Structure 1
Amino acid sequence: MAILTIECVRGDIARQPDIDAVVNAANAQLLSGAGVAGAIHRAAGPELAQACRPLAPIHPGEAVISDAFGLPNRHVIHCLGPVYGVDEPSAQLLAACYRNALRLADRHGLVSVAFPAISTGVFGYPLAEAAEVALAAVWGCAAELTSLRRVRFVLFSEADREVFQRILDGGEKSPA
């Protein structure tokens, strides 16, 4: 079992040079889009879209891995989070995104992975609920990981980072 460090930072998911893999909050076809997917695809370059074609489509809760191309990382792990209120059970599907991404990173011998707040943008998942699910999933999966040592949550705003940090610090408890 690896000792896992979890950290929350404000920043750009496409600019995490000290991390082995960044996680893309992907759409089912793994195409560029708005938000995280657009930022990652723009930074990685057109090779990422080409590499993703044979991996698509994916379903809510699933994760696949590709090279990172123009990003400063080794890999991109693509996760399709649930659309809140549409893809049910939302909490279980969201937790599966994090668990599947962590397991995939671990199987590839990666030491570090950076996540955005999956499903909280256009997919409408309330931030605090998503943070509770995400952190509970990471902690719940930690004991089975062998190579992974660091999980970073890269949040868009300082307010988002504070929500994740408060839950990480135990200020709010997950119902899971």
Structure 2
Amino acid sequence: HVIHTVGPIVGLEVTQRQKEELKSCYINCMKLAEKEGLKSIAFCCISTGEFHFPNKLAAQIAVETVDRYLSSSKLERVIFNVFKEEDYNIYKKLLQ
């Protein structure tokens, strides 16, 4: 399965609405994965890169959102798939 989501595009600064939109990307993907009977899901760094969402803030939103969601979910595993070493270090610190 491939679940496609499009996160917010950030201009000069991140707005509260964009933070909520990013959070919604993660929640909606996890809901759809559960609906399809999947037990795991992998996420890339949604909205970073070309969409200019700051990597650290995006990772914080991702980890907090997934952590809250998993407390009442049937999903067994969530993977954060990163490409850049910078992102690896951010996620490693957040997940310790």
Matches for 1:145-156 after TM superposition, within 5 Å: 145-146=73-74, 148-156=75-83
Q: Which residue of 1 aligns with 2:72?
A: 144
Give the percent of matched residue pairs that are identical in Structure 1 and Structure 2.
38
**156, 167, 173: which is aligned to 2:94?**
167
Is there any run of 5+ residues in structure 2 with no aligned partner, and where? none
Q: What letter matches 1:114 in structure 2?
A: A
**81, 89, 95: which is aligned to 2:7?**
81
Q: CA deviation at 1:160?
A: 1.2
**25, 29, 32: which is aligned to 1:97?**
25
Q: CA deviation at 1:97?
A: 0.4
Q: CA RMSD in A?
A: 1.5
In structure 1, what is the Cα distance between the partners aligned to 2:11 and 2:57? 13
Identify, as 1 or 2, the structure richer in helix.
2
In structure 2, what is the Cα distance between the partners aligned to 1:168 and 1:92? 21
Q: CA deviation digits over 1:39-98, x for unaligned, max 9?
A: xxxxxxxxxxxxxxxxxxxxxxxxxxxxxxxxxxxx001111001138851111000000
1:157 equivalent to 2:84? Answer: yes
Q: Which residue of 2 aligns with 1:67?
A: none
Q: Which residue of 2 aligns with 1:125?
A: 53
Q: CA deviation at 1:143?
A: 2.2
TM-score by length of 1: 0.51
In structure 2, what is the Cα distance between the partners aligned to 1:103 and 1:165? 25
In structure 2, what is the Cα distance between the partners aligned to 1:84 and 1:134? 16
Q: CA deviation at 1:138?
A: 0.2
| Deviation >3 Å, runs of 4+ | 85-88
TM-score by length of 2: 0.90
Identify, as 1 or 2, the structure richer in strand.
1
Is there any run of 5+ residues in structure 1 with no aligned partner, and where? 1-74, 170-176
Q: Which has the larger radius of gyration?
A: 1
Q: What letter matches 1:110 in structure 2?
A: L
